Amino acid sequence: MSKYRHQSGPRAPSKEQKDLEEVYRKIHSRKMYFELGIVEWDFFTPDIVGELTRLKYLIQFWAWNWFSEDLSSLSKTQKRSIIGALQHCCLLEDWDDLVGRFSSIHRHVTAVVFIEALLWTDIVNKIYDKPFWYFDGKMGPDDKEGDPQMVARLQHLYERYLESTCSIWFPKILTILMTTATANPLSASTWRSETIRLANSTDIHQARSQKFGEYHRQRRKDVLIPLMEDGHIATELISLLLKPLSQEKEKQARRQELIKVYQMAAEGSVKIHAARGHLKYNWLDSVDKTFAWESKTLKAHTLYPEDDDDLQLQGCPVLLITTPVISQAWVDGFFPQEGFSEIMKATAVVAENEGPGPDELEEPIDAMVKDELEDPDWRE
């Protein structure tokens, strides 16, 4: 354990207490699901974290497979475009200033860092933060075109629901008792959860008719690639960071692997959005400004060996985060919580004081990362 880890302040709940609370939460949620007819939809916070973690590893694996080590050909305009798309992730606005403060390890794989951040930005903006992204907006069975503005309208409605908190002051106990009886974010997130669930039942145990759910499953397949190619992140900016390929077969393989990344995010989003609670994706402004091993909002990037004091990361400025910090609230009125709770830390690249360069490592960088990414159980 790092020498920088200290215990201070109120004593944290023990693992047994947390496990017991999670059991109580599941029992209550399943009872509620049963009463509402919601069966075969058990998807709780640990499941959400697992889904997001699998996506994180898949993004890392794709970035590592296809990144370019030589970015010297990038023009100033291209560098500005990449940094511009990542303003919410980066401490500095100038490419050379930012990359110049990377560790020697991360300068060697600069493209990997930016690819990860770009993909997470695109997926959060298009899929995770847009629960209704595949809805067609049709007005009836004879409507062939639908309404492309339906997604934006539903999103705006959901956001207005989230803002409709009760403005009357209640003592804490009355607030808890009245949580489910007043207009509040818990009700809003439950509305979203039920809307997604009812639109995506594809199992006999989820609905008597699976026709609507199957329709939306096919609908996601139909709109996913156009959605992925909408904008310039997946089509232009990421391509600037990829190694050149001469064979068309390799290019197609790389593209198909990228599509699989978006497919995992798309199908995972259904389960995440059907689950109770509301997730918030925050970026650099919401994390600690300097790195600490005990941080609640940050974890070190993959290339930093965890708890390795030799890298001297403690207290170093955070230059860039490749993933957002993800927090959750309004899961259950029976177990009210104070504000949002972090369920997944942001992944940080820091301006470390000193550390081994790529030529000084006992094990090559590509072996270090590939061993870590190819081994986990998340690969299906």
Predicted confidence at residue 11, as pLDDT, reads 63
Q: What are 3's two structure tokens?
A: 């020498």
Task: Collect all residues with Cβ–Cβ distance below 8 Å to 166 and sequence separation of at least 6.
Answer: 178, 182, 183, 184
C-beta of residue 56 within 8 angstroms of C-beta of residue 299: no
Task: Give residue-wise pLDDT tens across range 339-350.
Answer: 788 999 999 999
| Helical ranges in 181-334 per DSSP H | 185-199, 211-229, 248-274
C-beta of residue 320 within 8 angstroms of C-beta of residue 70: no
C-beta of residue 230 within 8 angstroms of C-beta of residue 68: no
Task: Give residue-wise pLDDT tens across range 211-239.
Answer: 888 999 999 999 999 999 998 898 899 99
Is the pLDDT at 370 greater than 80, yes or no?
A: no
Q: What whole-number percentage of the chain has pLDDT above 90?
A: 55
Task: Give residue-wise pLDDT tens across range 267-279.
Answer: 999 999 999 889 9
Task: Give residue-wise pLDDT tens across range 235-272.
Answer: 899 999 999 999 999 999 999 999 999 999 999 999 99
Task: Give residue-wise pLDDT tens across range 91-124.
Answer: 999 999 999 999 888 999 999 999 999 999 999 9
Q: How far apart are CA 174 and CA 270, in angstroms?
A: 34
Is the pLDDT at 196 greater than 80, yes or no?
A: yes
Task: Collect all residues with Cβ–Cβ distance below 8 Å to 211 and sequence separation of at least 6.
Answer: none
C-beta of residue 276 within 8 angstroms of C-beta of residue 29: yes
| Helical ranges in the chain per DSSP H | 15-36, 45-66, 76-85, 95-100, 104-108, 110-123, 150-163, 172-177, 185-199, 211-229, 248-274, 365-374
First-residue to last-residue Cα distance in the chain: 32
Closest CA to 116 of 162, 80, 82: 82
Side-chain half-sphere of 322: how many Cα atoms within 13 Å? Answer: 24
What is the identity of the amino acid at 189?
S
Closest CA to 69 of 101, 108, 117: 108
Is the pLDDT at 1 greater than 50, yes or no?
A: no
Predicted confidence at residue 179, as pLDDT, reads 42
Is the pLDDT at 185 greater than 90, yes or no?
A: no
Q: Residue 208 belongs to what H/E stretch?
A: none
Is the pLDDT at 129 greater than 50, yes or no?
A: yes
Predicted confidence at residue 71, as pLDDT, reads 96
Side-chain half-sphere of 29: how many Cα atoms within 13 Å? Answer: 21
What does DSSP assign to residue 47? H
What is the identity of the amino acid at 102?
F
Q: Order of strands, edge to edge, in the sheet holding 318-321?
A: 298-300, 346-350, 318-321
Predicted confidence at residue 174, as pLDDT, reads 41
- Tell me how long the chain is: 380
Closest CA to 52 of 262, 268, 243: 268
Q: How far apart are CA 148 and CA 263, in angstroms?
A: 21
Is the pLDDT at 338 greater than 70, yes or no?
A: no
CB burial string 150-170: b at 16+ within 10 A, e below = ebeebbeebeebbeeeeeeee
